[in-house]
Structure 1
């Protein structure tokens, strides 16, 4: 039988400065520095779209706990003989299970976000009321009725409490680490090193083993199965799959290292916990460095898009044919959206690639046919709120009454029209901007947010109440598991349909319309979101459309040849 720290009864109670132990200690220091740099980079760029949607608080908290366990194990061959017999028991019984719980709770966020984004793909910017359902009796039904946040807190909290309780209970009832109390017959005997060797394994460790197997072999495969049809462009699904697969081998190989005598030569240089540490190392790569790469890629994509726009604008200015260029851009975009093979030759030219990445091309699609872009942003980018907001504001601007364009009016009809316009704007604010009520608050500057809050925040609180006190896009202000609004459950999704009465027809604000309210109230936020879409979502959407067109052209050519 092996030992958790790889020590044997014949080892001396001294620090080990062999090349193997020095290597692992050096590796621990180098990798820790790398992880810290990666975490720092993520925190600095925490407002990037790909990170805001992930929620850094939970994932980085789990990585912190797991890395503490990982670091202790790297020094096992060096200082294992000097550590108290129950040191590794507490490290593995506390840091590892708590870290694993938080991590897998974080991974379920992927499914939650994808589920919430479906409404933007299905209904765009239309705001529908969710028909209330009569609550069912019974503990299970009450649990199902909870929000995503409450469910995760409940499951993870119960699991953590159970694991800590069992860890403490095993330590108390066993005389392996204390001979003055506990169950008779559980003592260990012999020299100090013989006792430490025996303390490194045994039935006392099994609650932790079962806990790890539950998350790695039940929860993780469930998440993989539920996410099988999700294809995002932000590397989040890749991250989830990689971390789930990385956990599968850890606990079984740890048990083999402990209980298979033939593993003794391996344990001398690779202690049993290193198998779990290998899982943690892979998880850190996918949780820290894959998001870092995605942030870097988004920065690169933005720069490439801006360079492309600059080239196109320079060409247009030099040719002096603005109207002709705009018409050709519109034609090119229409061809891309239609997907006909006849556009294959034209969409491959440099000028064409530059023209379709311009703001005019984006606005043309938003005005004529935003549906495909809306679905792409919701299902692939998880940023469906951006396109939904732009289309909502566009529709709202077309309904702005003429009375708002002139000076103050005392006409009763004008006042009624202005109030109706304000109520429509109020619902746009609540759905897309308010950090208290929006599912996915828009990523706009604090100045723009403050300007809109001054106009809409108090009326929104009167209509909707105060949902939250925290800003969900600032992941380190307060610990949060969830997106800031109640989850859209499967049952509530079924209650949503295009024939349902819209919220704005049921709820109205009858107080005084703020003097700051004007037809241009959303202009700054609209410009900010358009720029964000232009430099992030739009080039990815164009690339996918081009690929689709080229694939369709290839298939059509093959069919013609046959």
Structure 2
């Protein structure tokens, strides 16, 4: 292996030896692979579990880190041709900003987990009205109203501003960083480059990496210790934290300890940060890439199982006419047949009708798709109410239909409209547009209505009830609690009598906008949610349900083996 015997000596000679070529080739290859993964995620950005990862923030984080990674991988090759001031700005801005954005991206795991638990275990949130108090009090109320992830964004953003200010001050007050090495005496260009990089002004640039690996990272690990998601998000946190632990201590030792002098010739000090950065990039991009690919494979398997199940059902039905002896030979008795039955649409529909709680718990705590299961449960109960609604001459009475429309608006605002819910269901644009046309005009133009108005928008068929809920050992806001939290579940929908005042026209958030807003649009009937229900049912069947069945099967096998 051909090497420059002097290694990185800050001279004018470019180290285009075998090691320099390896560094350049590796970073070029990694850049192509990394951004091929980014392109793949951008193409698949509408997939539900890609959406919740905040792809723009993730790409921004790995891009900032990659600029720094390119610089340190080419440090040996470029030798003394890369100025100290340029390297200072890259390490002081791109590395801290990249890690800060990465922290913000990973913090979403805890936030989304909490929001999903709130969705499944605490029902709908009532939105507070706009405050009429003093601006200072109003500002404080807005701050206290921010979610945990929003506050994290504010803290991280302020930290980035502070980092930028400190970097500017250090650069402006340190002549050596600007290329004035007179304080070192009469030194050569190479010696000045080396001494410049050993000044104490570089230490703040490593603060973010140190804080991430040794402070915030372990804290985040503790906070997510009981989250067992199926999206490898918690695993990403573990790998990223552990891989970054040695980075800053080794970098500091390499810069300020003479014991690393020989190593620094071939492995420059910032390279100790490279393994942690690469792991952060890899887990951020390729964990979701793997999930997309495995999800497609799982969908193909599911469709094959469904086709097999339907063929078997058809064959079984046809043989019913040929005699019971033939039927008995076709009765499934193997484990594979039972698995096919469990993966079928009929099994999912039975679970939703008989006992949806285990599926809802799994969707909320592991798959982060509780909104889909809740939507299916709500629509099922709404359709049951429509089927048994009071009728006059075989037509649903006006008061009952008005009540059903009001409840339909509640389903729309809590599950479909992305302006009124944090977790809208993922349906086709045409289906969403049709629902928008029917229910959209009945939604107040502002989400922030007064408490008196907001109570009308709480889905009254979705409240915590001892008679309709199942207990699970979990805490909505603290994963380590011992208290039992109950799942939200639908109560029977009751209808007003003909003598009752119409609910919807009297709505204080609607009436001021005119009676036309409360008018039921053409197309509102018992089939109004059919297209959305079919779309979400298929999505749950091919994704959440298959993961749930697999988990249940694994759990049963483990308990049997134990």
TM-score of the aligned structures, taking structure 2 as reference length: 0.80
Instruction: Please state if 1:278 is matched with 2:275.
Output: yes
The aligned counterpart of 1:211 is: 208
1:174-189 map, 5 Å: 174-178=174-178, 189=186
Name the SS for the 1:320 alignment partner: helix
> Equivalents in 2 of 1:323, 1:545: separation in Å?
32
Is the Cα–Cα contact under 8 Å of residues 108 and 149 in structure 2 kept in the other structure?
A: no
1:300-311 map, 5 Å: 300-311=297-308
> Equivalents in 1 of 2:158, 2:319: separation in Å?
65
The aligned counterpart of 1:84 is: 83
Please list the CA deviations of residues 280-322 of structure 1 after superposition, one character each: whole Å capped at 9, or x if unmatched.
1111111111111111111111111111111111122222269
> Equivalents in 1 of 2:185, 2:361: separation in Å?
64
1:21-40 map, 5 Å: 21-40=20-39
Please list the CA deviations of residues 38-75 of structure 1 after superposition, one character each: whole Å capped at 9, or x if unmatched.
11111111122221221211111100110111011111
1:127-206 map, 5 Å: 127=124, 129=126, 143-148=143-148, 150-178=150-178, 189-206=186-203
Give RMSD over aligned pairs. 3.6
Select 1:512's aligned residue among 519, 526, 529: 519
Is the Cα–Cα contact under 8 Å of residues 357 and 487 in structure 2 kept in the other structure?
A: no
Is the Cα–Cα contact under 8 Å of residues 99 and 208 in structure 2 kept in the other structure?
A: no
The aligned counterpart of 1:337 is: none
The aligned counterpart of 1:396 is: 382
Please list the CA deviations of residues 220-244 of structure 1 after superposition, one character each: whole Å capped at 9, or x if unmatched.
1111100000001111111121112
369-378 or 312-321, which moves further after superposition?
312-321
> Equivalents in 2 of 1:232, 1:512: separation in Å?
43
Instruction: Please state if 1:296 is matched with 2:303.
Output: no
Please list the CA deviations of residues 336-370 of structure 1 after superposition, one character each: whole Å capped at 9, or x if unmatched.
xxxxxxxxxx9961111111111011001100000
1:230-241 map, 5 Å: 230-241=227-238
Instruction: Please state if 1:350 is matched with 2:333.
Output: no
The aligned counterpart of 2:462 is: none
The aligned counterpart of 1:245 is: 242
The aligned counterpart of 2:548 is: 541
Name the SS for the 2:14 alignment partner: coil
> Equivalents in 1 of 2:172, 2:535: separation in Å?
59
Call closer, same or farther: CA 1:418–1:141 in 2, change over 3 Å.
Answer: closer
The aligned counterpart of 1:464 is: 447
Count of matched residue pairs: 496
Please list the CA deviations of residues 518-554 of structure 1 after superposition, one character each: whole Å capped at 9, or x if unmatched.
2211111100111011111111111122222233333
> Equivalents in 2 of 1:293, 1:199: separation in Å?
43
Is the Cα–Cα contact under 8 Å of residues 230 and 237 in structure 1 kept in the other structure?
A: yes
Instruction: Please state if 1:387 is matched with 2:373.
Output: yes
Instruction: Please state if 1:426 is matched with 2:409.
Output: yes
Is the Cα–Cα contact under 8 Å of residues 405 and 519 in structure 1 kept in the other structure?
A: no
> Equivalents in 2 of 1:386, 1:404: separation in Å?
29
Is the Cα–Cα contact under 8 Å of residues 233 and 380 in structure 1 kept in the other structure?
A: yes
> Equivalents in 2 of 1:66, 1:191: separation in Å?
32
> Equivalents in 2 of 1:498, 1:551: separation in Å?
26
Instruction: Please state if 1:370 is matched with 2:356.
Output: yes
Q: CA deviation at 1:35?
A: 0.3
> Equivalents in 2 of 1:68, 1:323: separation in Å?
68
Select 1:360's aligned residue among 346, 351, 360: 346
> Equivalents in 2 of 1:111, 1:175: separation in Å?
44
> Equivalents in 1 of 2:288, 2:407: separation in Å?
37
Call closer, same or farther: CA 1:522–1:246 in 2, change over 3 Å.
Answer: same
> Equivalents in 2 of 1:392, 1:152: separation in Å?
33
> Equivalents in 1 of 2:556, 2:476: separation in Å?
36
The aligned counterpart of 1:454 is: 437
Name the SS for the 1:26 alignment partner: helix
Is the Cα–Cα contact under 8 Å of residues 343 and 546 in structure 2 kept in the other structure?
A: yes
> Equivalents in 2 of 1:426, 1:515: separation in Å?
14
> Equivalents in 2 of 1:323, 1:49: separation in Å?
43
The aligned counterpart of 1:523 is: 530
The aligned counterpart of 1:105 is: 104
Please list the CA deviations of residues 342-399 of structure 1 after superposition, one character each: whole Å capped at 9, or x if unmatched.
xxxx996111111111101100110000011110111110111111110000011111
TM-score of the aligned structures, taking structure 1 as reference length: 0.80
The aligned counterpart of 1:59 is: 58
Please list the CA deviations of residues 166-207 of structure 1 after superposition, one character each: whole Å capped at 9, or x if unmatched.
111111111213477xxx995564111111111112111122
Name the SS for the 1:380 alignment partner: helix
Q: CA deviation at 1:454?
A: 1.2
Call closer, same or farther: CA 1:101–1:408 in 2, change over 3 Å.
Answer: farther
> Equivalents in 2 of 1:243, 1:294: separation in Å?
18
Is the Cα–Cα contact under 8 Å of residues 93 and 205 in structure 2 kept in the other structure?
A: no
> Equivalents in 2 of 1:499, 1:212: separation in Å?
42
> Equivalents in 2 of 1:188, 1:100: separation in Å?
37
> Equivalents in 2 of 1:323, 1:115: separation in Å?
51
Q: CA deviation at 1:415?
A: 2.2
Call closer, same or farther: CA 1:143–1:462 in 2, change over 3 Å.
Answer: closer
139-148 or 509-518, which moves further after superposition?
139-148
Q: CA deviation at 1:500?
A: 13
Call closer, same or farther: CA 1:295–1:323 in 2, change over 3 Å.
Answer: farther
76-85 or 132-141, which moves further after superposition?
132-141
Is the Cα–Cα contact under 8 Å of residues 444 and 509 in structure 2 kept in the other structure?
A: no
Q: CA deviation at 1:162?
A: 0.6
